[in-house]
């Protein structure tokens, strides 16, 4: 019985790590959306780093939709990426908690 309980605790710990990473990824993407929509100064090092991180994470979702306007394109495609990451990360964490 003790081995099963220890294994379950270990999986719960991994689930928490997956949830944390998912939250960070989704947070970075949402911050990227906000920075673009608010027209943040891209020459600022912090803004540049955050936008670069968001762009890297959104790579596979680039140009899924092509609405008119650069801001709309970023909002829709980055938003899609955030939703997909949140769903997949949540499902993985839930499976680990079983």
Helix H or strand E encompassing 32: helix 2-37
The dihedral region occupied by 63, where left means phi > 0, alpha psi between -120 and 50, and beta the remainder, is left
Taking only the tens of pLDDT, the chain with its 98 residues reads 566 666 667 788 999 999 999 999 999 999 999 999 999 999 999 999 999 999 999 999 989 999 999 999 999 999 999 999 999 999 999 999 88
Its pTM stands at 0.88
Angle at 44 between CA 52 and CA 23, to 5 degrees: 40
Question: What residue spans define the domains of the chain?
Answer: 2-97
* Distances from the Cα of 50 to the Cα of 8, 30, 47, 62, angstroms: 36, 10, 5, 17
């Amino acid at each position: 019985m003790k081995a099963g309980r220890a294994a379950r605790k270990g999986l719960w710990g991994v689930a928490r790590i997956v949830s944390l990473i998912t939250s960070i990824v989704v947070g970075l993407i949402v911050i990227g959306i906000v920075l673009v929509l608010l027209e943040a100064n891209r020459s600022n090092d912090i803004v540049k780093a955050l936008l670069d991180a968001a762009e890297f994470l959104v790579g596979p979702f680039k140009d899924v939709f092509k609405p008119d306007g650069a801001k709309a394109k970023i909002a829709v495609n980055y938003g899609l990426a955030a939703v997909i990451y949140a769903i997949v990360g949540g499902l993985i964490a839930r499976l680990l908690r079983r």
